[in-house]
Amino acid sequence: MTKADTVWGTTHNGLPQPIRGTEGATILGPRNVPLERANPDLLAPPRTDHGTVPNLKFSYAAAHNRVLSGGWAREVTARELPIATELAGVNMRLKPGGIRELHWHKEAEWAYMLAGRARITAIDAGGRNFIDDVGEGDLWNFPAGIPHSIQGLEEGCEFLLVFDDGNFSENATFLLTEWFERTPREVLAKNFGLPQKAFAALPRDVDYTRYIFDGELPGPLASDTVRSPAGEVPKSFSYRLSAQKPVQVAGGQVRVVDSSNFPAATTIAAALVEVEPGGLRELHWHPNTDEWQYYIAGQARMTVFASSGRARTFDYQAGDVGYVPFAMGHYVENIGDEPLRFLEVFRSAYFADISLSQWMALTPPALVQAHLNLDPKAIAALPKGKPLIVR
């Protein structure tokens, strides 16, 4: 495949145009060329696209960014991508020593470390605590209602958070400082067995900076550990996904993580997919839930088959969010010249997909031939295993 093959449209005077062969015409009015270049399959869709399919893409580059003393955070929820009702995502950066305030929320929090290192802490309802240092390629999962914190280590960090509710907002969490501010001082004193003057310096509304704020770098993990009388949590809240042996296939590799190998993650499953240039995450669908995607590196094209003859094609780059509603067929193709890396994330305890080629290979050949008029030899050559990624 050449780069020219990766765009269905054409160019005129060096600009992308909504033209397919003899169809379409040049743009005469105002236009946003950088946006058009990033979405060539929206500007000039392949002829196989048909009907009306909702938008299935939103870029973090277009999201509102909340910038504070210790870093920043930007989110993609059902507000930004209305079709994404099952899951929401937050992209967050912490400076060295930067702290994501002690907090909790009604939703489970699943995370993938994109860069750097962080220290995470939590306790469960049994008073058992957890503390760990996580680095690039590691995961964590805090079940709903579990209080926790995140702090950047020497090099700072950036990570992706995924929550099991599309309407979740990171700006609506239960914050430690806000609870203290909204509780009478005499109640705080009685609760903690301290004099009221001990709470005189609590942060006020006018100087709230604690959501993401500057902090001192923590010491070695061992020196920061607090021993609980109840012991440690029985299921680790972190997981070393990068250390997991991938499933190697001809066109790339896949690492799957769900409750079977990360028991703390009971509501979110995921696959880290790497597709070589020219490779294809095969035609498939998921029989259990919607798919929320995050593109880490490379360039991708995805066509989603929405039933009733409808289909729509989208282009994705690093930092984009993609979405595939429940049971819709799709593929993800690497259209760049570098490896494509992306996350498939699901609101489910387990990962599941159905391969189109495997379905055909395990169906009586005469039945397949009657539907598609394929050469019987071609049907016999279909792999009975699950390819996952093909060249």
Which residues does the annotation mark as catalytic?
344
CA 148 – CA 100 distance, rounded (Å):
9
Q: Residue 187: which H helix or E strand, with range?
A: helix 185-192
CA 170 – CA 109 distance, rounded (Å):
10
Q: Cα-flanking dihedrals φ and ψ of residue 295, to 5°?
A: -95, 120
* Residue positions counted in the chain: 391
Structure tokens at 255: 């690492």
Residues 6+ apart with CB under 8 A from 55: 81, 82, 83
The answer to whether 227 and 123 are in contact (CB under 8 A) is no
Closest CA to 325 of 358, 293, 357: 293
Residue found by looking up tokens 């996952």 in the block: 388
Q: Cα-flanking dihedrals φ and ψ of residue 5, to 5°?
A: -75, -15
* Strand, helix or coil for residue 100: strand
Question: 57 forms bridges with which residues in the sheet?
Answer: 322
Start-to-end CA distance of the chain, whole Å, equals: 11
* Strand, helix or coil for residue 115: strand
Closest CA to 269 of 349, 341, 343, 325: 349
Q: How far is CA 368 from CA 365, 372, 379, in A?
A: 5, 6, 8
Structure tokens at 342: 């992306």
Torsion of CA 101, 109, 54, 61, to 10 degrees: 40
**Within 10 A of 383 (CB to CB), how many other CB atoms are there?**
13
Residue 83 identity = I
CA 315 – CA 7 distance, rounded (Å):
10
**Within 10 A of 278 (CB to CB), how many other CB atoms are there?**
14
